[in-house]
């Protein structure tokens, strides 16, 4: 992070980059050390739910894999998933929260509306987990327990996709289990989603997210801009500076920012995409990538610096 021509802060991390054939193109940092992918796990959790019988498609499936912004269409979608399963917002076990979207956040405050579970960014995942339990005949009250059949199935699938065992189980910020894998394993898992056969749960999730990126994040979020700008890109961010992505041909990458800084995430993602050569590929919106390559640093009302990636991994 540069302010007025001087480096003010530095964020470091671990990153693994995979070629289309799955070989490691480049890596930096502790790429085999287990870490919590946080919400970058959501595409694999959604695929696990489909394996267990969940019947969601399109926008609502993208919402099941989302860290949504709490916009009206997100909240309506969560309620649709719950209603179709005969459930209500009271069944959700994610914490009450307000929207990530700034306009929606302010609107709730002005209206005097309290925080609630359905506006929490993980409510799509939680609603889908509950709906899966109803379809499978499993108890809903304990769906966030790591020993629940649903969570056991998700854990097994993530281990399969990452090609490594889950090394630890934690509690995510939303209250659901989070399974630890390495940065390299996370990149392998994203690659597995985009290369899965048409109609498989894994590919169905990847296709839904890519077709409806505003449902996996929000209308003003960088993840939506990235998936719109780069044809075939699947990307999912996670808390504490985690990101994973894969291109349609199987090139993939994942990283974890050591100090958890979210502001480093998007510039690093753009730098990695450019290292993989996307700037030269047809259909890529170069202006959109330029807009995300750095983040402005302000002083008063002026831009006086930027947050940028400083290491090119691939020549």
Total Cβ atoms within 10 A of residue 300: 6
Whole-model pTM: value is 0.97
Helix locations, 3-148, DSSP H:
42-51, 58-64, 72-84, 102-111, 123-136
Q: Let me know: does 16 contact 262? Beta carbons within 8 Å.
A: no
What's the CA gap between 314 and 26, in Å, rounded? 7
> pLDDT (tens digit, 9 = 90+) per residue, 261-278?
999 999 999 999 999 999
Q: What percentage of the chain exceeds 90 in pLDDT?
A: 98
> pLDDT (tens digit, 9 = 90+) per residue, 172-228?
999 999 999 999 999 999 999 999 999 999 999 999 999 999 999 999 999 999 999
The stretch 223-241 carries a mean pLDDT of 98
pLDDT band at 315; cut points 50, 70, 90? low
93-130 per-residue burial string, b: 16 or more CB within 10 A, e: under 16: bbeebbbbbeebbeebeeeeeeebbbbbbbbbbbbbbb
What's the CA gap between 85 and 129, in Å, rounded? 11
Which domains does the chain possess?
Answer: 2-64+142-308 (3.40.710)
**pLDDT score, position 311:** 75
Q: Let me know: does 193 contact 47? Beta carbons within 8 Å.
A: yes
69-90 per-residue burial string, b: 16 or more CB within 10 A, e: under 16: bbbeebbebbbebbeebebebe
Side-chain half-sphere exposure of 222, counting CA atoms within 13 A: 20
Of the candidates 139, 144, 151, 150, which has an alpha carbon nearest to the alpha carbon of residue 175? Answer: 144
Strands (DSSP E) along 231-301, which ranges? 234-238, 242-246, 252-257, 294-299
> pLDDT (tens digit, 9 = 90+) per residue, 26-78?
999 999 999 999 999 999 999 999 999 999 999 999 999 999 999 999 999 99
**pLDDT score, position 308:** 95
> What tokens were used for 188?
């392998």
Q: Let me know: does 150 contact 101? Beta carbons within 8 Å.
A: no
């Amino acid at each position: 992070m540069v302010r007025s021509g001087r480096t003010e802060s530095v964020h470091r991390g671990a990153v693994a980059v995979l070629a289309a054939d799955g070989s490691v193109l480049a890596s930096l940092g502790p790429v085999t050390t287990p870490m919590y992918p946080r919400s970058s796990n959501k595409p694999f959790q959604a695929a696990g739910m489909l394996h267990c019988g969940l019947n969601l498609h399109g926008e609502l499936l993208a919402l099941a894999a989302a860290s949504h912004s709490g916009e009206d269409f997100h909240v309506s979608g969560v309620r649709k998933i719950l209603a179709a399963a005969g459930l209500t917002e009271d069944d959700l076990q994610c914490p009450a929260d307000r929207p990530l979207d700034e306009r929606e956040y302010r609107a709730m405050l002005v209206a005097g509306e309290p925080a609630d579970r359905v506006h929490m960014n993980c409510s799509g995942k939680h609603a889908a987990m509950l709906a899966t339990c109803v379809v499978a005949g499993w108890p809903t009250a304990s769906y966030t327990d790591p020993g629940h059949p649903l969570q056991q199935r998700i854990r097994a699938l993530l281990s399969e996709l990452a090609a490594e065992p889950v090394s630890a189980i934690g509690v995510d910020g939303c209250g659901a289990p989070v399974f630890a894998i390495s940065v390299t394993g996370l990149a392998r898992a994203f690659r597995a989603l985009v290369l899965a056969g048409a109609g498989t749960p894994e590919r169905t999730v990847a296709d839904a997210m890519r077709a409806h990126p505003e449902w996996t994040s929000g209308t003003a979020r960088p993840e939506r801009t990235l998936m719109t700008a780069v044809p075939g890109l699947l990307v999912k961010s996670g808390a504490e500076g985690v990101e994973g992505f894969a291109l349609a041909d199987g090139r993939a990458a994942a990283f974890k920012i050591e100090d958890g800084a979210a502001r480093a995430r998007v510039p690093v993602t753009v730098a990695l995409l450019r290292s993989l050569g996307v700037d030269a590929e047809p259909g890529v919106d170069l202006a959109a990538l330029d807009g995300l390559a750095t983040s402005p640093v302000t002083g008063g009302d002026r831009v006086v610096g930027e947050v940028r990636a400083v290491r090119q991994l691939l020549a």
